[in-house]
Structure 1
Amino acid sequence: MAPTDETSQVPRQESPPGTAAPIRPPADERAVPGARMPRWLPRAMVLALALIAAFQLGSWAFHQLTGLLTNVLIAFFLALAIEPAVSRMAARGMRRGLATFLVFLGLMIVAAGFVTLLSSMLAGQIIKMAEGFPDYLDSVISWINTTFHTDLRRVDVQDSLIHSAWLKKYVQNSATGVLDVSAQVLGGLFRLLTIALFSFYFAADGPRLRRALCSVLPPARQAEVLRAWEIAVDKTGGYLYSRGLMALISGVAHYVLLASLGIPYAPVLAVWVGLVSQFIPTIGTYLAGALPMLIAFAVEPWYAVWVLVFVVVYQQFENYMLQPKLTARSVDIHPAVAFGSVIAGTALLGAVGALIAIPAVATLQAFLGAYVKRYDVTDDPRVHGHRTGAPGGLTARLRRLFPG
């Protein structure tokens, strides 16, 4: 009987004399007759490709709709801010749509008045600078001639400026950039219209929106959603109203200072300081004070110093006296948390994130505070920052080394 292979039980043929034996692959590498691809592998490949395609499509759609989602978020917070006023007017028998329209009309009148006053102030300053430019140029030319013993004339300087290559290039670039500026202005107006439209619908149809949202949730979840909505309305409205009141107080205080110093456009500058200082947290006061300081410096350099001193002193008064009393019930968050939330909001959504960061964090803090269980803090000196000497610490070791 011919010898057989132990693994396959197939008779093994002997090689002819003088020839090398054929090399056979290992048993685990031999092809198994009749082997097929697992049935689940094609389905898994199709499912994986479908998930990758869905992820790519969702990512592309999200990036395309980022602007719209940002506008909807701004509109939602604006609707939350005017919700108390609209609800109060609707409770007195006024239709909710009419109440929302009146609130928006008042906001538009205030915004248009502020923009008009600020534009007139800037236009007046530009005209004043343009009228005084020849005298300023004469003084500069006179100083150069006296210092460097030159013979410059204003006519020669003006001719060289008019016929210079950089001025022609600047005019060409400015003419080209007019279209870009016009497109940006139209885009900004369209964005404002979109935000106003969404916020109007959110505020006017607030009850209907809440009913539609609660209709897809079980009763227990409905109560939580309504509670979160109420907290968001209270915190957002309270934040904006408290900031508006502080803006009014700040504007009046700065108006008194600017008017007493004889600074031009004191009412417009006071409104500017009040709004910018309150709606740009932490550093808004110093940014807002830069414009009145610049105009005061143009009138009298010492007036700019007085404005700077007043801005710093008023900031301290606002931080330690005024703000804690006005925002204790509306937005009670730590200043460090507020500053961090503003930085995070700016990194995520830019200027929009900086504006809505504090009410969003206050809403989240209040919502978590309603559900997080708190305990009484033990009466331990370490809670108040007092360190206690532990046995075997550095003091004890020094005493053992140096007794007496």
Structure 2
Amino acid sequence: MPRWLPRAMILALALVACFQLGSWAFHQLIGLLINVLIAFFVALAVEPAVSRMAARGMRRGLATFLVFFGVLAVGVGFVVMLGSILASQIVEMVESFPAYLDSVINWSNQTFRTELSRVDVQDSLLHSDWLQRYVQNSATGVLDVSTTLLGGLFRLLTVFLFSFYFAADGPRLRRALCSVLPPAKQAEVLRAWEIAVDKTGGYIYSRGLMALISGLAHYVLLEFLTVPYAPALAVWVGLVSQFIPTIGTYLAGALPMLIAFTVNPWYALWVLGFVVIYQQFENYMLQPKLTAKSVDIHPAVAFGSVIAGTALLGAVGALVAIPAIATLQAFLGAYVKRYDVMDDERVRGSRPRGRRVLRQMNRALRAGNDPRPASEELGEPR
């Protein structure tokens, strides 16, 4: 046996063991890594406000605390307001349920000539097997729901703490990162950091502006239909439709439809039609213009980045995909060499026609067989 063979075998086994250990650690820490990624982009989003307050003489830690406290206060107030609205609407629907049931029973008796009564329907519902199974499954699922809520609160607290430290200690973090790099690399890191702050802030700005426009449009519709709680519902539609990717629009429109149904069932259809029409207007006219001005990214690239981010990291990937791609595109743009584009009709989108096409084809074919210039053979001036 050669002397190097046992060492090679030990080295190969050590590499396999290190790979297995690293893979196991990565899968165990994937949740923490995603939380850190979210916290980093949250810190980038609040960086302009924190830096502006710190430039006026306020301590950076206090400035970060005030920004996060303002965001938390607005979020808690919004959730409490919507919770009270939803609770009152649920109570109203439960109280008016017997009237709805009587109207449905009367319509069924008149249309299909049946002899149903509310007492018979209620007894059949209360003694049905599916209702008993639903109650049992709901009782056993209370523990799962509680565990999910506690896990969500712990994850939210983790993201808040990391984002607070990233924003409050931003200069110290950049200094520590640049201390291990040569001067040329330090300039590139600082430039990438500045681009990331600008693009993330631009993305939040564009989303906030679209949320404002969406809220105002839905507020006008709800006020026209005399739907109660129109201002709160407009705020709900604006925020949820813009900051929850993919399904945010339909999730946001469900609550106004539910409350409009309590006023008039036809109003729910009006709200549904308006949500669908406004979504098309936003996708094809409003969002491309605002995204191009604030994030400077093509709409097709933005759409593809959202799909890729959703496939990789789910909802989190959809949220951070656009600012991440915009940052990467702006950073790599400095290293891509650009050339002047030739003045050609095909570049402008038009194509040569008729005789000019035949002339160019003949010129190309004859140039390959005749050593003379094509312009002399066609009888044109050189």
1:113 to 56, 77, 93: 77
State the partner residue of 2:220: 256
2:148 to 181, 184, 189: 184
> Alpha-carbon deviations, 1:23-47, whole Å to 9, x = none?
xxxxxxxxxxxxxx11111111111
State the shift of 1:246 in Å: 2.6
Greater mean deviation of Cα atoms: 75-84 or 241-250: 241-250
Return the letter of the residue paired with 2:83: S
RMSD: 2.7
State the partner residue of 1:339: 303
1:210 to 171, 174, 180: 174
> Alpha-carbon deviations, 1:269-298, whole Å to 9, x = none?
101221123224577545534443443344
Return the letter of the residue paired with 2:12: A
State the shift of 1:245 in Å: 2.5
Residue 65 to residue 325, structure 1, CA distance change in 2 (3 Å): same
| In 2, Cα distance between equivalents of 1:137 and 1:283 | 32
Greater mean deviation of Cα atoms: 45-54 or 249-258: 249-258
2:88 to 109, 124, 132: 124
Residue 284 to residue 55, structure 1, CA distance change in 2 (3 Å): same
Structure 2 residue 326 is matched with structure 1 residue 362? yes
Return the letter of the residue paired with 1:38: P
State the shift of 1:133 in Å: 1.4
What's the TM-score, normalizing by structure 1?
A: 0.82
State the shift of 1:322 in Å: 5.2
Q: Residues 43-192 of structure 1 correspond to what in structure 2 (within 5 A)?
A: 43-192=7-156
SS where residue 195 of structure 2 aligns?
helix
Contact 2:292-2:298 at 8 Å conserved across structures: no
What's the TM-score, normalizing by structure 2?
A: 0.86
> Alpha-carbon deviations, 1:98-136, whole Å to 9, x = none?
000000000001111111122122212221221121122
| In 2, Cα distance between equivalents of 1:67 and 1:118 | 30
Structure 2 residue 236 is matched with structure 1 residue 272? yes
Greater mean deviation of Cα atoms: 356-365 or 305-314: 305-314
2:337 to 373, 380, 383: 373
| In 1, Cα distance between equivalents of 2:133 and 2:26 | 40
| In 1, Cα distance between equivalents of 2:360 and 2:289 | 47
> Alpha-carbon deviations, 1:240-275, whole Å to 9, x = none?
023213312321232123123211121121012211
Residue 242 to residue 145, structure 1, CA distance change in 2 (3 Å): closer
Return the letter of the residue paired with 1:113: G
State the partner residue of 1:247: 211
State the shift of 1:330 in Å: 2.7
Q: Which runs of 5+ in 1 are unaligned?
A: 1-36, 398-404
SS where residue 296 of structure 2 aligns?
coil
Return the letter of the residue paired with 1:44: A
Return the letter of the residue paired with 1:58: G
Return the letter of the residue paired with 1:187: G
> Alpha-carbon deviations, 1:185-239, whole Å to 9, x = none?
0000000000000000000000110011111111110110000000001110121
State the partner residue of 2:349: 385
Structure 2 residue 256 is matched with structure 1 residue 292? yes
Return the letter of the residue paired with 2:98: P
| In 2, Cα distance between equivalents of 1:193 and 1:287 | 25
Return the letter of the residue paired with 1:375: Y
Q: Which runs of 5+ in 2 are unaligned?
A: 362-382
Return the letter of the residue paired with 1:127: V
2:4 to 37, 40, 65: 40
Contact 2:54-2:60 at 8 Å conserved across structures: yes
Residue 76 to residue 396, structure 1, CA distance change in 2 (3 Å): closer
| In 1, Cα distance between equivalents of 2:358 and 2:272 | 49
State the partner residue of 2:377: none
Tell me which protein shows more helix as a share of its residues. Answer: 2
Residue 180 to residue 394, structure 1, CA distance change in 2 (3 Å): farther
Return the letter of the residue paired with 2:24: W
